[in-house]
Structure 1
Amino acid sequence: MRRNSRRARRKQLRRKISAFSAVLRSSRPGIHYTATIHATLTPEPSGPYDPDEIADRVRTALRITAAAAVRDQDPIDLPAAQDACAQQLRRPKALDLPDQATQVTASVHLELADEDRAAVKELLTAIRAQAATDTLTRQRTETLARELAHPAALLARWLQQPDAQITKPPDEAELEALARRLRGYPKDRDEPLELQLLGVLRDFFAEFPKEEQKRLLVMLLANGMRAARKPGHADRAEALVKPAPWPGVAALAEDAS
């Protein structure tokens, strides 16, 4: 009779902890996970005990652990939440029983109820729409900053204003300072290195306003190109700073011929 009673208690306890549910908050307000938890006690309790009391302790402890594991998990990524929760529940935890040291481990299956799944779908739609809007806004801003990153472009834009006074244009130093600030606008991380380097070179050359200074910098750059065995590029760079021939020289050459 005692053996049958012990077997009945064990069977009742297993039934109460083998598959129980838990509703767990996610990182998104109003969206919850639905968990099915399967617990195992090692060793199983022996002697006289109340199966309901032990089952209550097991369910409470595991629900608390599961809730802590997923409260910062985004329901958009359900597999990640599943892994985080399973990792915590499979770690043995001591269960405080009066006359015996017992540990509990568990497996878990997470899912989203229909209303939570619908909420995640709406959330994804809103996130994608916002991402598209943000991308377009960023592209427009980057294009404008790139377009006006030169003093001449700023002056041209200023002249387009209805109230622009052509006889009183902005100071050249002010235009250069504003253009330099626009050149400092954060570049797209995916922008090719060549374009990023052009921006650096433009800022560097802007630090030397005199033409003879720029000419010397170009000569230094050309020397570096020749050292890299690129004489064609060096010639093209030097051609940019060579003074234009005086028209009279060409006329004299024609007369001499």
Structure 2
Amino acid sequence: MRNKTIIPQRPKYSQLFLIILSIYTAIFIVYQIFAICSLNSSQDKIKNYYLDHIEKVDSLYYNLGINNKAILSTYMQDSIYNKDMELLYMEYEKVLKEDSLRLYNERSLVEMQTKSMIDLHLDKVEHEYSNLTIWAAILTILFLVFSFYSIYKMDELIQQGNDGVKDIRRLKKDSERLIGNLETTSKLEINKTRSQIDNFIKEQQDRMIQTLSYFEGESTNKLSEINKCFVDACNIMEQIKHVKDTIENNQSKK
């Protein structure tokens, strides 16, 4: 039994989330710095433009006063015009109306330009606020997506962990059962081998006993035959000796 539970290696989604979050945070910080710099630049431009127009208006007032003083001094010094004050006042009124009209036009232009710049600035602020809202919505959606995805992956990892624990427990039970079977089988094989060895030793002992008994009987028979042959040989020698003695005695008598 070779059941292996292979858990696939998954990418590190936490690192991916931190990288994307860092990128969006850096982009958001850069955008905020750019927006603040643009806002300060717009405010400085509006202020400088308004101050320029104020200086123009002040210069108009100043020039108007200088012109009035010059006209009055000229008219007062000239004896010809002193006699006709009505013409002087009419001329003065004409110049004053022209200067007043010019001043009014300049003030109207300043107000219109200032209003346009303020409206433009308000539109820009509204646009930046809309962009900020969009970025916040994107970040919120991104957080929600990664949150749900992390929850889903967490549930999946928990399920995989539970499956892995179940597989480990099943493998443990299978291994315990296999070890028990191996122990039982090994005991049976050991007993069987031991009995076979005992039987073989007993058979060999019986064969050795039989062989020894056979050789002992054969050796006894051979010794008996040898003893018999020796006795026969001794008898023959005695007979030969007796015949020899008899022959020698007979020869000596003659």
Sort the TM-score into its range (normalised by shorter chain).
under 0.3
Larger RCO: 1 or 2 (CA < 8 Å, sep 6+):
2
Q: Select the structure that is richer in helix.
A: 2
**TM-score, normalised via structure 1 length:** 0.20
Highest Rg: 1 or 2? 2
**TM-score, normalised via structure 2 length:** 0.20
Q: Select the structure that is richer in strand.
A: 1
